[in-house]
Amino acid sequence: EMSKLVENSFRDVNIAFANELSLICDKLNINVWDLIKLANHHPRVDILKPGPGVGGHCIAVDPWFIVDSAPKESKLIQTARKVNDSKPLFVIEKLIQTLGELDEDIEEISISCLGLSFKPDIDDLRESPALEIVKKINQMGLGIVNIVEPNINVLPECLVSANLLDLTSAIVSSDIVLLLVDHSEFKNIDLSLLSGKHIIDTRGIWS
């Protein structure tokens, strides 16, 4: 049992390092994707890509069992969980900052949120940071919320007031495109569709 918990905690800590790098790079005005690419040229360095947080029923949950069993000894594991759990708030702050740069009333601004699942090319929304982010955006009334999730046909109940659209329609009608999950469909879009849009790419697929 401990072996399985350690496996997922190891992954969580490594993701937290990447996510913390993204926070540092944002503050220092450094492109985190370029930084990681350069650092990974070292033969013994393999930094993961940052994202909007960590989800799923394993990685986002299992480390807490270790923390509960040995709270004083699990400082690094606890910190990693806090870093990853805080990342959705950072994404929302970036969105609010972008909204402030637009010369329009918030109620009239269209935000297309790409992806709801906790990892690419699946329909599983369990513990998904993308879902948490979109739910918060919707609750805060931050514009017109359009959602693209190619792996589901019906939005969860918490998002019934949002719009589930196809990818092209959502991007064309949007002022802001918020990429949350690196689904294959999003990687392969015609990049000309993004011209003139305000882009927040949490997975670095267009960076």
- In 3D space, the residue among 16, 121, 116, 123 whose CA is nearest the CA of residue 59 turns out to be 16
* Calpha distance 195→190 (Å, rounded): 10
The pair of three-digit structure tokens given for residue 80, joined into one six-digit string: 């990693």
Q: Is 158 helix (H, G, I), strand (E, B) or coil?
A: helix
Q: Is 6 helix (H, G, I), strand (E, B) or coil?
A: helix
25 is known as an active-site residue = no
Q: Which of 27, 37, 49, 58 is catalytic?
A: 58
User: Terminal CA-to-CA distance of the chain, rounded, Å?
Assistant: 39
4 is known as an active-site residue = yes
The answer to whether residues 165 and 153 touch, using CB atoms and an 8 Å cutoff, is: no
Instruction: Name the helix (H) or strand (E) containing 110.
Output: strand 110-114
* Calpha distance 43→39 (Å, rounded): 9
The answer to whether residues 180 and 113 touch, using CB atoms and an 8 Å cutoff, is: yes
Q: Which of 4, 75, 82, 187 is catalytic?
A: 4
Query: Which residues are known to be catalytic?
Result: 4, 58
